[in-house]
Structure 1
């Protein structure tokens, strides 16, 4: 499939008729698959993106269930502008595309047009094939014809809205994604064949059955149809409710962000901040008191270490002088007693027999020696007494000087660091307290937030109720289907020799076997394709070593190089987008479905490395036609230059604030 042209008229922000021709005006030998639509936020990129889906699928737009409000939806898409004297009352979307059907390339034009007439919306769908009305199909079936050409399940993947497809792929319970995989792998056709055979078998058995069994079967089928209708209705309600839950959650996040930006978090922590402030102020006061004690004590001494050392030396000298003085007095007293002793009569008479002259010489020698060594005056040094401290005072003073020189500097250093640390904490808390807004300023937002939380709780309760009802309907459906099987068995027993019935049963078995083998083969091929593509696009090689697709549930599991399961919810938004792109590209490769890729906001969640890989590998190669809707920050000048060799044409969507409308012109923002 190749889209040739998109035409919109009075649709959304687009005033009047706009044609987008999706091929280059200049013929070129090189294949250029990219058509680039550039526009700022609000210029109409997503409007145009969704317009293609609306044109093809009407009230079955993938991802947008109308729930009875489809006409209101269409009315809301008719362009309105306060600058127009006469407001448009109609709008249309037209898609022209080429499609190979039954080995022949045909050109189809699908136009969906609607107008408001006396408060009512009248919609009209036109389909042309090769310039002629599609006569081979009844007009009432044109929508079904388009869905057969381009199944809704496929469009879920080829219309690539990064954020929506990420959510779809990260949710293992998402039935839409599983249906899309089946459609891409061609398994939906096999399932449809199985369902058709079952319908045929049941219809055939009814024709051959007895009246009571036929009536019982009709009653059961009627009940089953009602259950399925109610189930679809509840599923639609659940889809709408899920969207409302998401919207409410997003609004709650926005309000929390607004409250946080205006200091709401500080308001919540105000009491804790005040308590911390008071505690820190007390702790700082204790540090200050300790510093004051040092200042009034030994700190001044520590600030003059040289003087303190000289003082200590002087005190030591004086102390030693006093000690020597006391010792000298004691020795002098002892020496006098000794001299008195040696000068006494009978000195040494009982020891030595000495002559009087010899004894005299000995006495004289002793006297000289004693005077030389123990004379009080001779032992006094020339130390000058400046302080005259007692021994106790001298000891205390010396100890204090030692403490001032050794301990006080360390204490000052520790106390200063502690003061600085606590003071910085106090400053931060004071700044945080200054950020605390007036409670009255945030009160309306808090009240609104509380309302939203209540609304969210109500929606969750409603969702729980819907799930319970759906669960009950599923149980009822299973029970009815079981009873139908029982009746079918009775009917088959009555017609067990019927050749047609036997052929149908054999065919069903063959189809079941074929389905399993096809699912196995396609899953294996998809596993290999996905792994190769992902590892080419992702900067961390072998981050996802392999994937596994359950052939019954079609749940997709990711495994790392150690064969451990990777939680998809823990992938970053950029990694999730790479995962989604790899999956879609892999599905496209093995399915043989040559559909265009139509991508909205493609690069917003990617880092520079992944962005380069997408620009150089994915965009030029993933499809024969790639429609990209981008802002000037996603595809900027550098990225545009990278893509330029592959761009066949580009459009710039310019929105005018004055007339609230968008106009398109050829080229990109600066091209």
Structure 2
């Protein structure tokens, strides 16, 4: 199968008629797999994916924006806001596939008004000659199921969110489990089991006595009502789950607003003011201590050089006093010394030299003692001055410096607190923010309560259904004559057992092949080829387990976010390869949170090999300049388009080319 052309007219943000050539063939001989469409977030990429799904499946399409809307409301929602009321909205998808060993081309056309008649669109199927094929249009749902079954379409038409969800969950989401079951052919065995159960119930009715038939029908009717209510509650639970997500998101927005607009600080105002008051009081105490220091000897630090000079002068004067006391003693000693020298009868020249030396020394002492003291200090006073300079004053300066640093720190803390208090919301705004926050919290609480009540009701219904089925089984065993139809019921039970074994063996065989394909794809995409040697798939939940070369389990938490996404892509790729169907692959927002290494592997290895036709819907940050140049160098891109979104008109136009 190959998509050739997509035509959008007044669909979503696409106003007027716009045509996209999706044919991967460049000419008659050359073909390249990738059709690259670039667009910013909100520019209409997902709308293109929805258009393909809608064209193929109509009211059964699993479109991203449909949610719980009815098909009529969804079609109305898809109409472009600038569309004239008399104009129609139109989607056309041209595709080609092989039928009876020959290529066959069809154009699927769906049109509807802004308020669609009977809540439906109009479907037209045109063949290669543009002739309307009414017969094919009447059986289109069955026909497209043979080409691209809805159950496995998500393996070929998927988006980044689906990959993200698959990467983050231990067990694949229901939509992927459904696709796996369809791919493995398990739904056939399950459908046969259901058909057998219907047959057995029909035979029970046929052989039931008239007396007990009414009771049997009453049990069956009750079972139908319970199953119907269960389906309704299941849909209701899904709706409540979405509602819960919405109100939780709104609550987070309100909390962020509460913080950004100063609500949190306003709530802590009294505590902040108390803290400011305490710090202010502490700062005041520090100032008081500094005042006490200033009242003591600390001011002497201003004249510290003078104090040092005073101390030096005092030492000099004490030295002079000591010299005066020693002068007379030295003169008397010198006289005795000279008398001794005369008695020794030394030579006159030597005696003269000794006298000259003594006279010089005495003259020096006399010059020293002639200096007049003016400080008139004493030893004790000089010692006290030395203690003040060397110890007390130095200690006072250090203490003052420490207190000053403490005071500066506290003043900075006071300024910080004052700024915080100034950013606090006013009492009126604070009350409004608190009311909004309480309302959001109340909405979340109510949504959670509704969800829990519905979940309990669903569990209760599930239990009731099991009990009713058991009651129906017991009723049949006790009250129905199985003389003529016993072999059918008995055989059906045996077939059910056989089907169970068949399903298990079929699952094992298919999963073994799938494990090989997924392992090969993952190792091919992963740049750390020695990290994982084998990927195993659980037969019941289809969850993935990883093993290294020694057969030891590799915990999934060891994988980075990008490696988990590669594993999810490898899973989808392996499923598509096992399907054996030659189908195009369309990927919306394909690269997610991948780092440059993993992104390069995906660009070089997966996109060119995923299928014969790969439609990529990307932003400029996913497939960037480097990635698109790599794809161009590898001759992997057949066509490039840019979805140009005009925010003023909220319209998108499709232009040839890419961002670069």
Pair 1:478-2:466 in alignment: yes
Q: Quote the residue 1:183 is aligned against.
A: 182
Q: Which residue pairs with 2:76 in the alignment?
A: 75
2: CA distance between counterparts of 1:431 and 1:534?
55
How far is 1:122 from its partner?
4.0
Equivalent position of 1:249 in the other structure:
248
- The Cα of 1:235 is off from its aligned counterpart by 1.6
| Mean CA deviation greater in 239-248 or 542-551 | 542-551
CA distance in 1, matches of 2:98, 2:629: 33
- Structure 2 counterpart SS, 1:113: strand
* 2:38 pairs with 1:38: yes
Secondary structure of residue in 2 paired with 1:153:
helix
Corresponding residue for 1:124? 122
On the 8 A contact 2:207/2:485 being kept in 1, the answer is: no
Give, in whole Å, the separation in 1 of the partners of 2:437 and 2:517. 47
Match for residue 195 of structure 1? 194
Pairs within 5 Å for 1:583-602 = 583-602=571-590
When residues 526 and 654 of structure 1 are mapped into structure 2, their CA distance, relative to the original with a 3 A threshold, is: same
Q: Which residue of 2 aligns with 1:348?
A: none
Q: CA RMSD in A?
A: 4.6
Partner of 2:636: 646
Cα offsets for 1:396-455 (capped at 9, x unmatched): 433332236764565466455545544544444444344334454565555444333322
Matched, 1:96 2:86: no
Distance 1:534 1:126 in 2: 41
Question: Which deviations, in whole Å up to 9, do the C-alpha atoms of 1:202-245 show, x marking residues without a partner?
Answer: 44555566556766555444333332222222222222222222
* Equivalent residue runs for 1:62-461 within 5 Å: 62=62, 67=68, 69-81=70-82, 86-99=84-97, 106-116=104-114, 121-127=119-125, 139=138, 142-147=140-145, 149-167=147-165, 170-171=168-169, 174-204=173-203, 206-207=205-206, 218-290=217-289, 311=310, 393-403=381-391, 407=395, 411=399, 414-415=402-403, 417-419=405-407, 421-441=409-429, 444=432, 446-461=434-449
Cα distance in 2 between the residues matched to 1:96 and 1:287: 85
Residue 603 of structure 1 corresponds to 591
Query: Does 1:661 find its partner at 2:655?
Result: no
Using structure 1 for the length normalisation, give the TM-score: 0.76
Contact 1:169 1:177 in 2 (8 A): no
TM-score after normalising by structure 2: 0.77
2:2 matches 1:2: yes
Q: Which residue of 1 aligns with 2:332?
A: none
Distance in 2, matches of 1:37 and 1:248, equals 34
More divergent stretch after superposition (125-134 vs 516-525): 125-134
Distance 2:528 2:283 in 1: 51
CA spacing shift, 1:562–1:256, aligned 2, 3 Å = farther
Q: Which moved more, 1:531-540 or 1:253-262?
A: 531-540
Greater Cα shift, 458-467 or 103-112: 103-112
Q: Conserved in 2, the CA contact under 8 Å of 1:287 and 1:415?
A: yes
Task: Single out whichever of 112-121 and 624-633 deviates more from structure 2.
Answer: 112-121
* Contact map agreement 2:24 2:34 (CA 8 A) in 1: no
Shift of 1:651: 1.9
What residue in structure 2 maps to residue 369 of structure 1?
none
| Map of 1:355 onto structure 2 | none
Structure-2 separation of matches of 1:188 and 1:220: 28
Q: How far 1:463 sits from its partner (Å)?
A: 0.9
Range that drifts further, 629-638 or 295-304: 295-304
Specify which of 489, 507, 521 is matched with residue 519 of structure 1: 507
Moved more, 235-244 or 247-256: 247-256
SS of residue matched to 1:97: strand
Deviation of the 1:516 alpha carbon: 1.8
CA spacing shift, 1:407–1:46, aligned 2, 3 Å: same
Q: Give the CA deviation at 1:22.
A: 0.6
Other-structure match for 1:366: none
* Number of residue pairs matched by the alignment: 617
Could you tell me how far apart the structure 2 residues matched to 1:542 and 1:300 are?
Answer: 77
Q: Secondary structure at the residue paired with 2:599?
A: helix
Match of 1:508 in 2: 496
Q: What displacement does 1:106 show?
A: 4.8
Which SS does the other structure have where 2:41 is aligned?
coil
Name the residue aligned to 2:353: none
Per the TM alignment, residue 474 of structure 1 is displaced from its structure 2 partner at its CA by: 0.8
Is 1:634 matched with 2:622? yes
Which residue does the alignment assign to 1:346? none
Query: For residue 622 of structure 1, what is the aligned residue in structure 2?
Result: 610
Asked whether the equivalents of residues 24 and 613 of structure 2 are also in contact (C-alpha less than 8 Å), the reply is no
1:242-301 alpha-carbon deviations (Å, 9 max, x no partner):
222222222333343444444444444444443443344444444455555556655566
Partner of 1:364: none
**Shift of residue 539 of structure 1?**
6.8
Q: Secondary structure at the match of 2:121?
A: strand
Structure 1 unaligned regions, length at least 5: 333-377
